[in-house]
Amino acid sequence: MLATPVTLPNGLLLPNRFAKSAMEEELGRLGAPTDAHINLYHNWSSGNPGLLVTGNVMVDRRAMTDPGAVFLEDESNLQQFRAWASAGRQGGNLFLMQINHPGRQIPKYLCERPLAPSAVGVEVPGGRGLFNTPRPMSDEEIREQVRRFARTASLAVEAGFDGVQVHAAHGYLISQFLSPLTNRREDRWGGSPDNRARFLFEVLAAVRAVLPRGKALSVKLNSADFQSGGFAEEDALQVIARLAEFRVDLLEISGGNYESPAMMDGRGATSGRHTAQREGFFLEFAEKARAVAPMPLMVTGGFRTRRGMEEALKFGAVDVIGMAKPFCLEPLLPRKMLNGELTEVHYPTRRLRTQAMSSLGVMASARTHIRRIARNRRPDPGLNVVLNLVRDFLSTQLHAWRYRRWLRKNPGPAAP
């Protein structure tokens, strides 16, 4: 079943069921894609996946998850994006640009006062002081970000991408609007579940309006935040039931955020009833989502063995197998699994002193593997996690200093 194509509602074809989900590449230079992006995705596309999704591309240069991220606000770097789109499609797969705004989840060394639905700070266990308390957005600032999502989507398809994925998961801005823990507004953007979902739906309407026929609209949504009093499965199912109104072509299901990273460890998301559900963190929720979602479903998180993937497809709750970190160790993963060279990939992890340090260590290791692939070198499974984390931190601080200096001189175009 892994080799079976999937046709999206808009007619686009995924040649197989393998998808590389989004990861932050941190290969950008002052917001623009680089040759490293192009070579990295050329290598991943050479592995014959069904779908590749970029790391999050920001809709606003003032709101970056890291100094090596990229943004797409206007045509100034469109040639680099065209080269990136071309490289990521050369294997015959679909290539979507994930578009995003981090909201409150911006490191304090990049932003003194980030924007968010409400003034609720990020509280990462063991990570106190990593983020500044955000400022509540005005009504006009909310509408500006809706327009920015649409502008970035329009430019993405102009650059040659097959469509976009709107990131509404993992505690970023749209996810913050959805959660009653982070959205404490009393106006039309907060309060009831419908009001909290308003920002997502207005973004989807604006994005769908600018996508030409034949271009795909995907959404990445949490099954839950896995926080008491937060965005719950019942909320997610209500949102999913309305996605068809916006002709969503593919729904990717994940879960968690910086404060409760279920997307990284599956905490609270698995039951272990059989192999597929022990691997696929969010398969049980996907089974519930199937009842209200007419579009194909992609589940990301936990898949490591071909047996588990095949079983998940036979189980019927999922159409596309999403993976991220396994592609950092095996860039040709789909081809190797389909021809029998590979039956499983286990990403090495190491618990550090705190949850925050452990999560940062995993992400730093993934970025190092990504940089090696971009330079046509093999990933290094024996990487020293602690030493690599220190090197990654120092490099990030240097790039952050350059980005802040550049941003002061280049505040960007007027709001759309």
- DSSP-assigned states of every residue in 99-120: EE--TT-SBTTT-SS-EESSS-
Question: Smallest Cα–Cα separation from 18: which of 278, 336, 239?
Answer: 336
pTM: 0.94
CB 89 within 8 A of CB 42: no
Q: Which helix (H) or strand (E) holds 94?
A: strand 94-100
Tell whether the model's pLDDT for residue 12 goes beyond 60. yes
Assign 261 a pLDDT band (cuts: 50, 70, 90).
low
What average pLDDT does the segment 327-346 reach?
Answer: 95
CB-based contact 63:140 (threshold 8 Å): no
**Banded model confidence at residue 274, pLDDT cuts 50, 70, 90:** low
Say if residues 148 and 208 touch (Cβ distance below 8 Å).
no
Which domains are seen in the chain, by residue range?
Answer: 6-409 (3.20.20.70)
Which of 89-98, 281-290, 340-349, 362-371 is most confident?
Answer: 89-98
Mean pLDDT, the chain, as a whole number? 92
Is pLDDT of 272 > 60?
no
Q: What is the pLDDT of residue 317?
A: 87
Paired tokens of 150: 């649409």
Degrees, nearest 5: CA angle 35-84-359: 80
How many CB atoms neighbour CB 291 within 10 A?
Answer: 10
Per-residue pLDDT tens digits for 155-203: 999 999 999 999 999 999 999 999 999 999 999 999 999 999 999 999 9
Whether 257 has a pLDDT exceeding 80, the answer reads: no
Mean pLDDT of 256-262: 67
Contact 104, 172 (CB under 8 A): no
